[in-house]
């Protein structure tokens, strides 16, 4: 690669992100770097997002005046440079040389000396600059102020731990296909393969790896012995009162983690319908079903437009794993810190309510609907459920008797934990019998 090319690409990706032109996952899908360079590009992009608000507080001290909007790429380049200098063990001279060279790749010749000067000023005074960056909350907690304020108000006892967990690297968690193998047997297989792991505590199927590894290195992955899935998500089947003969609808199913887990429970359901409105993501449901040797009726459709796909036969169970802000999985997707804004949250709540209202008609009297999100925001969780119950006479909230999580006004919330599960919310709604 040309000098500076990788850094220029990282800066371009970050500026697109800040202009809401995609997520890190989509922007990193087909990057023009060699395979061996990709991990560094990914590390720079993810790390800069994870620490963005702190790095921004450092940069503010180094700039005499803010950069013009047309030079967003230069600002992003500086942020990625500060990230590498502050958080990575790349030699300082290499970071400075490559970042300066990136100005030419970005066709910002004028910024060559400027970037050099800013990074060198940081290096001269780094401890002082880093400690001043911690004076204000966004820098101290590395989150946007609106989110810090909401977390303080919503989780007065937990907000500090929650924000700290969001800044950690997430663990890699597996779900053992208990139809095919027991957890102790799979832990033994991992040990034999030289992979250190421990059993999870919330679910009988969960395993935490000490260090992430490619799935191809995991014994029996291709054969369907295990899947990668966070432990919180693995609680779903246990909350749905599963039994043989049930008709089940998974209304927002892609990429199929929960669909497959429901089927792995081994009950002979009368049918399991998996719907999603994203054709590309739905392909992954099919791939997962195939790998795990499971079967479901997979339909591409809008869960809110039931006339499109519903045959009129009601379901005994509905899982609505709703589209949400994903604020419970920030450690896996640190770009959420940059992408989400308060106005998105109410728009999401409207979508969630409308999905609940449409799908309710598809539930049999006496049936159970499990609503879940990977959000830690009350608006999408307790408030959405309160609003739904308020306008749906035959909906009754059922308690979730559990040792885990925090009981909310409505439903139960798991908060992200540093070495444990993601943030996740659950509410069980029973439809009154005839
Ligand atoms: C939280 S993800 C679901 C994750 C999935 N349950 C799993 O465990 O793998 C939410 C999904 O809802 C889908 N979605 C969003 N709006 C939808 C709609 N109106 N109808 C159907 N699916 C929708 C998205 O494409 C996305 O795949």
Note the pLDDT tens digit of each residue in 232-286: 999 999 999 999 999 999 999 999 999 999 999 999 999 999 999 999 999 999 9
Model pLDDT for residues 397-413, shown as the tens digit of each residue: 999 989 999 999 999 99
pLDDT at 171: 97
Tell me: pLDDT of 434 over 90. no
Residue 326 CA, closest ligand 1 atom number = 1
| CA distance between the termini of the chain | 68
Handedness of CA 293, 222, 26, 340 (dihedral sign): positive
Ligand 1 neighbourhood includes 422 CB (under 6 angstroms):
no
Dist. CA 13 → ligand 1 center (Å): 25
34 pLDDT band (50/70/90 cuts)?
A: confident
Q: Are 407 and 381 in contact (CB under 8 A)?
A: no
d(CA 290, CA 219): 18
Handedness of CA 332, 333, 338, 341 (dihedral sign): negative
Tell me: pLDDT of 33 over 90. no
CA 297 to chain centre: 26
Strand 247-250 versus strand 271-276 pairing type = parallel
Q: Are 18 and 45 in contact (CB under 8 A)?
A: no
Specify the residue with its C-alpha closest to ligand 1, atom 12.
Answer: 252
Model pLDDT for residues 181-194, shown as the tens digit of each residue: 999 999 999 999 99
Dist. CA 130 → ligand 1 center (Å): 40
- Reported as type and span, the H/E element at residue 202 is none
pTM, rounded to two decimals = 0.96
Specify the residue with its C-alpha closest to ligand 1, atom 15.
Answer: 323
112 pLDDT band (50/70/90 cuts)?
A: very high
Active site residues: 374
Pure H helices in 32-91 = 38-50, 52-62, 72-87
Q: Are 4 and 104 in contact (CB under 8 A)?
A: yes
**Mean pLDDT on 312-320:** 98
- Which one, of 255, 263, 270, lies nearest residue 237 by Cα? 263
What are the respective helix, strand and coil percentages of the chain, to the nearest 5?
A: 45, 15, 40
CA 99 to chain centre: 30
d(CA 282, CA 276): 6
Specify the residue with its C-alpha closest to ligand 1, atom 11.
Answer: 252
pLDDT at 313: 98
Dist. CA 302 → ligand 1 center (Å): 10
Length of the chain: 434
- Look at the domain 235-431 and name its fold: Rossmann fold (3.40.50)
Please give the CATH number for the structural domain made up of 5-142.
1.10.940.10
Which residue ranges make up each domain of the chain? Answer: 5-142, 172-228, 235-431
Please give the CATH number for the structural domain made up of 172-228.
3.30.70.1170
d(CA 168, CA 333): 11
Residue 281 CA, closest ligand 1 atom number = 27
30 pLDDT band (50/70/90 cuts)?
A: confident
């Amino acid at each position: 690669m040309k000098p500076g090319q990788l850094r220029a690409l990282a800066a371009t990706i970050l500026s697109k992100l800040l202009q809401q032109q995609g997520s890190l996952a989509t922007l990193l899908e087909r990057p023009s770097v060699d395979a061996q360079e990709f991990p560094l590009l990914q590390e720079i992009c993810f790390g800069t997002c994870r620490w963005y608000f702190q790095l921004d507080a450092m940069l503010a001290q180094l700039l005499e005046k803010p950069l013009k909007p047309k030079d967003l790429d230069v600002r992003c380049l500086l942020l990625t440079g500060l990230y590498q200098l502050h958080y990575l063990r790349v030699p300082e001279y290499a970071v400075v040389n490559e970042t300066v060279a990136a100005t030419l790749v970005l066709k910002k010749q004028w910024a060559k000396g400027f970037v050099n000067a800013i990074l060198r000023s940081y290096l001269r005074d780094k401890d002082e600059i880093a400690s001043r960056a911690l004076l204000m909350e966004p820098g101290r907690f590395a989150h946007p102020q609106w989110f810090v304020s909401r977390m303080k108000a919503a989780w007065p006892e937990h907000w500090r731990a929650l924000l700290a967990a969001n800044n950690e690297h997430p663990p890699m968690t597996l779900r053992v296909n208990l139809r095919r193998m027991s957890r102790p047997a799979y832990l033994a297989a991992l040990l034999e393969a030289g992979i250190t792991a421990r059993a999870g505590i919330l679910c009988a199927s969960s395993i935490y790896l000490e260090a992430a590894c490619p799935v191809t290195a995991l014994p029996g992955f291709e054969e369907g012995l295990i899947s990668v899935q966070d432990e919180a998500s693995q609680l779903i089947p246990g909350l749905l009162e599963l039994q043989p003969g049930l008709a089940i609808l998974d209304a927002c199913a892609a990429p199929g983690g929960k669909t497959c887990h429901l089927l792995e429970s081994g009950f002979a359901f009368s049918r399991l319908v998996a719907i999603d409105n994203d054709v590309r993501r739905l392909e992954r449901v099919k791939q997962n079903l195939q790998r795990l040797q499971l079967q479901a009726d997979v339909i591409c459709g809008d869960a809110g437009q039931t006339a499109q796909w519903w045959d009129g036969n009601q379901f005994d169970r509905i899982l609505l794993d709703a589209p949400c802000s994903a604020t419970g999985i920030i450690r896996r997707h640190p770009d959420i810190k940059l992408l989400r804004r308060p106005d998105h949250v109410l728009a999401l709540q409207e979508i969630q309510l409308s999905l609940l209202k449409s799908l309710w008609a598809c539930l049999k009297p006496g049936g159970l609907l499990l609503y879940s999100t990977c959000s830690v925001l009350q608006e999408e969780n307790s408030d959405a459920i309160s609003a739904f119950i308020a306008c749906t006479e035959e909906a009754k909230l059922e308690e979730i008797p559990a040792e885990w999580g925090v009981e909310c006004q409505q439903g139960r919330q798991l908060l992200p934990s540093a070495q444990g599960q993601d943030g996740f919310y659950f509410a069980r709604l029973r439809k009154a019998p005839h």
